[in-house]
Structure 1
Amino acid sequence: MPAQRTALTDALNDLLQPAQFKDYGPNGLQVEGRAEVRKLVSGVTASRALIEAAIAEKADAILVHHGLFWRGQDGRVTGWMKQRLSLLLAHDINLFAYHLPLDAHPELGNNAQLARHLGVAIYPDARGRFGEQALGFMGERRSDSAAALSEHVSERLGRAVTLVAEPDRPVQHVALCTGGAQGYFEAAIAAGADVFITGEISEPQAHYARECGVAYIACGHHASERYGAPAVGAHVAAQLGLEHVFIDIHNPA
């Protein structure tokens, strides 16, 4: 049986609590499509490639981490924006996007799911969260060296990673914040991390890692955020009796 779009909207909002976050763009239903939803596709970014793949899957709704609209962007519907919107509107597909709420969910979010994928046990008490809006996660995974943990991350994510560290130093306390969270490194250091895992690295973080003795692993923005959307999508699909498919559009970033 199909679910109403309003029921899917309510289920996602109840789960992810977007009103609790100060974010960079609107969370929730970004493009309204048909009222009845039978099939939900999840993905990382609302790219044209994902939308086309969702059309091929005959999806009624798409759930992503990176939506179409961001604070401060050009508001004109031209070029790539026109192409994406045209496809969604022509096929009457709903687009749902949750940015920080999808990072932060304690069980199904990007950080929690990446930790699970890497075998990091998140601390259940106050030590388990750090940083602005408590977006950073902290847990434990003992490794004989930062280099060994880096190799493990590379193997689990299927891509090369960047390690800045004393490679032979053992690590135990692991901080995670997926995507472009290099600005959380100092908070991770203050929280007692031995190693920080995120998607990207900027020039200052290499110096902080060397000078503070805390390892830094940059494993790719997209690669670190592949796990939250399908986990949330599968959860709400099961709740509402929908079909769910995760489509991973390759991105080297």
Structure 2
Amino acid sequence: MNNFFLEDIINKKLSSNEHDDIVPNGLQIEGTAVIKRIITGVTACQALLDKALFYNVDAIIVHHGYFWKNESRYIHNMQRKRLKTILSHDINLYSWHLPLDIHPELGNNAQIAKKLNICIQGNILPYVFWGSLKNKITGFEFAKQIEKKFKKYPIHLYENAPLHISRIAWCSGRGQGFIKQACAFGIDAFLTGEISEETIHIAKELGIHFFSLGHHATEKDGVKSLGEWLHNKYNLCVDFIDIYNPA
């Protein structure tokens, strides 16, 4: 498949032009024109690039790519090594950030709902979903369910929270800043990737269950699902590479 055609079909699938992002979405670094083998991953770190060389791929698709608005414009040290690896081996680097967080089918938040059997009811904010559980369960039961599905036990705050959970809001990645808006909407629990110092107090004082699973854990299923979609629809050879990250 042509590298720019691949960019076009994913942009259309994810409706990329509808999102104002802090990072460019699509083909960030052009490589070989013909793509036969692809790997996907969460972040375009050096470990993932090394895997790309090992598997001799033509393209890498990630959720966290390069050229963020708050990044330095100088190409030194770590960034130089990363770019040299990509350019010297003629690899295409693709990245989709917000479009891959909120897509209703392939997105990170949609995949969280699918894994945890949450019925999506709508959005509190563009990046914050809310839904309901089929049956009420205790916060501890829900934490065990999260552990079972994600192979990782979450940080669970529950002081002053109700015993059972039925309405839940969630946001993949760095979503702890939306906890107040979620609580104002009326929920029993909030799940996200990261946690901050003030989150402890907010969850306690607003009386909800709060679950922090890690940024990486909440954002690996979107890009993995995108790769599976490419394989099933276009018969492309795509492998997901999970570079361990506890955060």
TM-score, scaled to structure 1? 0.93
Equivalence for 2:130: 138
The answer to whether residue 220 in structure 2 is matched with residue 226 in structure 1 is yes
In the TM superposition, what is the alpha-carbon distance from 1:156 to its structure 2 partner? 1.8
Residue 35 of structure 1 aligns to a residue in which SS?
A: coil
Q: Measure the CA separation in 1 of the matches of 2:117 and 2:23.
A: 31
Equivalence for 1:85: 83
Tell me whether 21-30 or 234-243 shows the greater mean CA deviation: 234-243
CA RMSD of aligned residues (A): 1.4
Amino acid at match of 2:143: S
8 Å contact kept, 1:150–1:161: yes
Out of 56, 60, 64, which is 1:66 matched to? 64
Equivalence for 1:181: 175
Q: Measure the CA separation in 2 of the matches of 1:122 and 1:200.
A: 21
8 Å contact kept, 1:8–1:236: no
Equivalence for 1:28: 26
Residue 166 of structure 2 aligns to a residue in which SS?
A: strand
Equivalence for 1:76: 74
Q: Deviations over 1:90-143 (max 9, x none)?
A: 1111111111110010010000011111221212xxxx1121xx1111112234
8 Å contact kept, 2:162–2:207: no
Equivalence for 1:197: 191
Equivalence for 2:106: 108
Residue 27 of structure 2 aligns to a residue in which SS?
A: strand
Q: Where do 5+ consecutive residues of structure 1 fail to align?
A: none
Q: Measure the CA separation in 2 of the matches of 1:56 and 1:32.
A: 20
Q: Measure the CA separation in 1 of the matches of 2:54 and 2:115.
A: 29
Q: Measure the CA separation in 1 of the matches of 2:116 and 2:65.
A: 26
Divergent runs of 4+, >3 A: none
In the TM superposition, what is the alpha-carbon distance from 1:168 to its structure 2 partner? 6.3
Amino acid at match of 1:30: Q
Give the aligned length: 245
Q: Measure the CA separation in 2 of the matches of 1:241 and 1:230.
A: 15
| Counterparts of residues 159-178 of structure 1 (less than 5 Å) | 159-166=152-159, 169-178=163-172
Amino acid at match of 1:18: S
The answer to whether residue 150 in structure 2 is matched with residue 157 in structure 1 is yes
TM-score, scaled to structure 2? 0.95
